[in-house]
Every structure is written in C-alpha cells, then in structure tokens.
Structure 1
Amino acid sequence: MVGLASIGFGVTLFVGFLYAAVVSKLLPPYENRILAAIQNDWYYCLLVPLTLPVIIVAVYLRWLSMKMFKHA
C-alpha cells in the first residue's frame, strides 16, 4: 500500500510540475490570481529541467568517493 501511495504521489507531483512548467505557458492569460502567478513564474519552469545535470554530477561524485574509499 505504501508503494502505491508513493507512486501516486510521484505521478501527482509530475503532473503538477508539468502543468506549471509547460502547459500553463501555452494557455491564454488567466483571471485567477493564483493561476496567473503560476503562468508568469519562470523559476520552476527552469528548475525542473536543470535538476538532471545536478543529479548526474551528484551520482558521479558518489561513485568516485566510493571508489576512493574502497581502494584507499
């Protein structure tokens, strides 16, 4: 049950970030203040794609530190 809840939570977050980053920019301007703020925000639009290079660097540094630890 916990696994299914985690998958559901992950899918919900993915859809929310996809809406904030891509879909909201393609729609016409909103009257609602909250939706207009999401549409005019560029932070999360750029943050989500830029996490991939940071994750790659973090995984490489973890691998490198484990190799140094094993062979020291």
Structure 2
Amino acid sequence: MRFSREDLVGSVFIAFGVTLFVGFFYAAIVSKLLPPYENSLLAAIQNDWYYCLLVPLTLPVIIVAVYLHWLSMKMFKHA
C-alpha cells in the first residue's frame, strides 16, 4: 500500500495538533497538580496562569463573534 503526499501532509498536521494539545494540557492542568520543580523553565510553566485561563475564556468570545457574524449576514441578506 502506497501513501500519497497528501496522506503524509495530513499525518504531519495530525501529529502536530496532537503534540500541541498534549503540551497545552500539560501546561494548563497537569503542571499545576505536580509538586514544585527545581528546573526554572518547568517552574515558570507551573506558576503561569495565563494559558490555564486562555482557552476557557476564549469560548464566550467565540460565541459572541459567531452571533455577530450571523446577525450581520441576516441584515445583509434582508437589506
């Protein structure tokens, strides 16, 4: 069975997405549950609260943006 170039590119995108998800999940949730680190980089990730709150607070903004987009399209269609 041969894989095409598109299959390879798709697999790379999926692997990249999974890697980013695992990294974010570690930074946002897992690192807060572990004991304090001695490594300065890992301690900075553990003490950072920005990324922990970024995704949950992005969801209401997306909902408002989708609603405003829908509303503007309705006004455009009926104008």
- For structure 2, which runs of at least 5 residues remain unmatched after alignment? 1-7
TM-score calculated relative to the size of structure 2: 0.81
What SS does structure 2 have at the residue aligned with 1:21? helix
* Aligned match of 2:72: 65
In the TM superposition, structure 1's runs of 4+ consecutive aligned residues that sit over 6 Å from their partners are none
Larger radius of gyration: 2
Which of 4, 7, 14 is the equivalent residue of 2:14? 7
TM-score calculated relative to the size of structure 1: 0.88
Which of 38, 43, 58 is the equivalent residue of 2:50? 43
* C-alpha deviation, 1:60, in angstroms: 0.9
State the distance in 1 between where 2:65 and 2:24 align.
Answer: 22
Identity of aligned residues (%): 86
Structure possessing the higher relative contact order (Cα contacts under 8 Å, 6 or more residues apart): 1
* C-alpha deviation, 1:65, in angstroms: 0.8
State the distance in 2 between where 1:19 and 1:66 align.
Answer: 39
What SS does structure 1 have at the residue aligned with 2:23? helix
Letter in 1 for 2:67: Y
Aligned-residue RMSD, C-alpha: 1.2
